[in-house]
Structure 1
Amino acid sequence: MNSTGNLILVGPMGAGKSCIGRVLAERFGLRLVDVDHEIEQRAGANISTIFECEGEAGFRTRERSMLAELLADDGMVLSTGGGAVLDPDNRRQLRERGFVVHLHVSVERQIERLARDRSRPLLARGDRAQVLHSLAAEREPLYAQVADLRFDTNHYTATEVASRLAQELQTHWHREAPARIDAGLQRAHSKEPT
């Protein structure tokens, strides 16, 4: 059983990380933090604009910095971007700072789910199926490397996945209190009476 105060969702676009994360956060009484949303808030621009102005490398630099900042805290469901696992330092932090769930989805299901989505810069590069197959080949081994649990989202709605996943988490994930609170309690109990 893995003990940590954070639940981290990784996986490709269209896996349902944000929707499933919202339901899990409510169910476990945690706050939901979406890395891409936090980057947009900080930059004052959407992801597409950041890609346009700074390229993917610029976006990945922002992502690495934001992830490090967010993972310094506890008590959240963290929804990551699909490419967060590309950076070795990100992978290390994900493993160290949370219980990581890989939400798996097939390329065929991604194509269905993302059919109307025009907000994803990586999908604007030509044939969507080819792009998604290429991304899957590169990223699937990295998701596997960081994941404590792999969960298939292909045949379920976000609500169904969240419900089934919550049951799995009861067995595999033990939430511990944030370290800073534990440290505070230890200091309080170790004081000599006056």
Structure 2
Amino acid sequence: MSEIKHNTDAKVRAPGLLLHKTVVLVGMMGAGKTAVGRALAARLAVPFLDSDAEIESAANMTIPEIFERDGEPFFRDKESQVIGRLLDEEKGILSTGGGAFLAGHNRQMITERGVSVWLRADLNVLWNRVKHKDTRPLLRTADPYATLRALYEDRVPVYAQADLTVTSDGEISIDNMVDRVVDALLTRPDVLERT
């Protein structure tokens, strides 16, 4: 993992924008949390953080290896610990795993210390993005599409509880998605404001 400068200031200065709280990107696998998150962090001149990458770095194992060796409940506990630590240590853009927002204590922690942004994409967009990847432990099933559809149907009502929602239609560029996220964040001056 690349080095991240720690910033304990209450606010982070960005060109023309002032970030007050960590932005936590939530949503399904394939929604673009990492790609959009990296570009958003660059646009705002703040650190990009990835809870899955932090977990892998700490465990010196991949997420699929952790799932296989220790199981999903163990992983979810570590995920909550890492998200809490990153919310306390950093002001930036935090990408979370697809299941992180499902836990009520994670949703509460994120809303109290940051702001959640659901990157909403429909099932076909998600499937087109993940169907050729073998890095998704939850899709290692006999029928990955049916598994993704079931996850989608279960999770969408929970993601809908996010503080803000930005739609990813699969057609626009990452830069345009970043524009959409910035516009949504600017509706919350407690999170992001123009300077």
TM-score by length of 2: 0.83
Give the C-alpha shift of residue 4 in structure 1.
4.0
Q: Does the residue aligned with 1:71 lie in a helix, a strand or coil?
A: helix
Q: Does the residue aligned with 1:142 lie in a helix, a strand or coil?
A: helix
* Structure 2 partner of 1:149: 164
Answer whether contact 2:166 2:184 (CA < 8 A) is retained. Answer: no
* Structure 1 partner of 2:142: 126
Aligned-partner Cα distance in 2 for 1:93–1:126: 35
Answer whether contact 1:5 1:74 (CA < 8 A) is retained. Answer: no
* Structure 1 partner of 2:181: 165
Whether 1:93 and 2:81 are equivalent positions in the alignment is no
Give the C-alpha shift of residue 72 in structure 1.
1.5
Structure 2: stretches of 5+ with no match in the other structure: 1-18
Structure 1: stretches of 5+ with no match in the other structure: 177-194
Alignment map for 1:50-65 (pairs within 5 Å): 50-65=66-81
Residue 4 to residue 126, structure 1, CA distance change in 2 (3 Å): farther
* Structure 2 partner of 1:114: 130
Aligned-partner Cα distance in 1 for 2:46–2:25: 14
| Aligned residues with identical type, % of pairs | 37
Aligned-partner Cα distance in 2 for 1:151–1:92: 20
RMSD: 1.6
Answer whether contact 2:166 2:180 (CA < 8 A) is retained. Answer: no
Aligned-partner Cα distance in 1 for 2:131–2:149: 15
Give the C-alpha shift of residue 68 in structure 1.
1.6
Give the C-alpha shift of residue 173 in structure 1.
4.3
Give the C-alpha shift of residue 110 in structure 1.
0.9
Aligned-partner Cα distance in 1 for 2:37–2:93: 6
* Structure 2 partner of 1:187: none
Aligned-partner Cα distance in 2 for 1:68–1:75: 12
Q: Give the alignment partner of residue 49 of structure 2, picking from 33, 48, 52.
A: 33
Whether 1:14 and 2:30 are equivalent positions in the alignment is yes
Aligned-partner Cα distance in 2 for 1:105–1:116: 18
Aligned partner of 2:168: which letter?
T
Give the C-alpha shift of residue 63 in structure 1.
0.7
Give the C-alpha shift of residue 20 in structure 1.
0.3
Q: Give aligned pairs, total.
A: 173
Q: 4+ residue stretches of structure 1 with deviation over 6 A?
A: none
Q: Does the residue aligned with 2:88 lie in a helix, a strand or coil?
A: coil
Residue 173 to residue 131, structure 1, CA distance change in 2 (3 Å): farther
Aligned-partner Cα distance in 2 for 1:91–1:171: 20
